[in-house]
Amino acid sequence: MAYSVFKKELWTKPLFSWYLYDFANSFVFINTTLYFSQWVVVDNKVSDFWLAAPFMIGTAVLVFLSPYIGNFGDRSGAHYKIFFWTTLGTIISALLIFVVGRADFSPRQGVILALIFYAMYQFFYQLAFVPYGVFMKHLAGLKDYGKVSGIGFGASEIGHIFGIFLTLPIIYGIFTLFGTDRLAPLFPAAIAFLIFSLPALLVLRKKTFLFNQPSPMSTSELSIFRSLWENLKDGKKYPGVLPLLFSFYFFSDAIISLTFFSAIYLQNVFGADDPFKIKAALFVIIGFALGAILGGVLSDRAGHKRVLIWALAGTVCSIVGIALIKNISLNLILFPLFGLVSGAAYASSRSYLASLIPQAESGKFFGLYAFAERFASIVGPLLWSLTVWAFMNYFPLNYRLAAFSMGILVLIGMIPLLTGRKISISAQEDISQ
């Protein structure tokens, strides 16, 4: 079955460049997550709140702007232009984090400026995924949405691994051109992002005749706030879209939160050391990559919605298992399982959405998809933190309860899928490469 991901039509030049972009943007993301956060909090003694603040601000702005930008791309035929400028903004803001952190400012001024550019990085990085999702709708046929979505997510996870190994010589002081502190990895990571994203920027530019035509179905220009509301209302035109978006919000909420707090969870519940945490993280990444590809293949064969429901059921079981087990070694089984089923859920949900919507309005609905995921990255961590705080007198049970609550969120996310209707858009409406 896996051989189907190597079909020639899945590896055309435009699709390969599309996969490579998801690989490329992981370089900066993983290094900011691992090292920039520690540069701010540990090295410069800044509160965790000030590290989280730019992420939350950038995300909050994006929550309302992404549906508007998606709709604007449909209306004006500007998907590639949005993709180009958001990619450029991501690279430049990542480089500026490095530059201002090394500039001749006072330590406090340097950190503040770096955090401002970190907020810009988060904004541009996340916004680029709106046109990126639209491209899949135009570059792949209906029968291949799952496989293409899965390969893209798989490439992203492989990029995380390569991003870690790329900068290890810097962290261990073997290569000192950019310095040896925790800020040093950002410069080569940003350059690697630029290099590996060039194929997408160049190749997809030649395909703009596919996805840069103004949509005859698009509405007149709306304000940012009205655009979000009107786009949600338009989702009723395509049965299955709104149930999927509500489901995606809940299960993405849980997966993002558990992933974000996994190292803290392992530390406080099991007393895990750093090598164990790194091993668990790598297992999750590998599991996610394999799950995304396998889930994509299965969704094309068995149905996107069916695979998504089974993947979410597996996610519930893996999270509950993580919350209940007492043997630390079992985490090395459950964490990769969590990655495997989560990868399948993400791949099948993106391909399921693509199967439900017409090309002419793909920007609008991928904007809503980004809205659901980004809003989840605010509320989910807040729910986790409140659970830990509310049961602080029952440490470390409070962390187990927080993890268990994430399983409940995924279970809630399954309900709209089990009750909502679904009508796929005809394959005749899709334009293959």
List, in order of start, the domains of the chain with CATH numbers: 7-210+221-420 (1.20.1250.20)
* pLDDT tens profile 84-98: 999 999 999 999 999
Instruction: Look up tokens 């919000």; give the residue.
Output: 249
So what's the pLDDT on residue 425? Answer: 44
Whether the predicted pLDDT of 431 surpasses 50: no
Per the CB < 8 A criterion, the answer to whether 431 and 209 are in contact is no
Whether the predicted pLDDT of 361 surpasses 60: yes
* pLDDT tens profile 207-249: 654 555 555 545 455 555 555 555 556 656 667 778 888 888 8
Whether the predicted pLDDT of 154 surpasses 70: yes
Question: Structure pTM?
Answer: 0.74
Q: Is 327 left (phi over 0), alpha (psi -120 to 50) or beta?
A: beta
So what's the pLDDT on residue 429? Answer: 43
Whether the predicted pLDDT of 193 surpasses 90: yes
pLDDT higher for 1 or 184? 184
Task: State how far the Cα of 99 lies from the Cα of 381, in Å rounded to an integer.
Answer: 30
Whether the predicted pLDDT of 346 surpasses 60: yes
So what's the pLDDT on residue 268? Answer: 81
So what's the pLDDT on residue 37? Answer: 72
Whether the predicted pLDDT of 363 surpasses 70: no
Binned at pLDDT 50, 70 and 90, residue 47 comes out as low
Lowest model confidence (mean pLDDT) among 8-17, 176-185, 358-367: 358-367
Whether the predicted pLDDT of 430 surpasses 60: no
Which of 45-49, 218-222, 234-238, 282-286 has the highest average model confidence (pLDDT)? 282-286
pLDDT higher for 344 or 368? 344
Per the CB < 8 A criterion, the answer to whether 19 and 152 are in contact is yes
Whether the predicted pLDDT of 424 surpasses 50: no
So what's the pLDDT on residue 213? Answer: 54
pLDDT higher for 43 or 299? 299
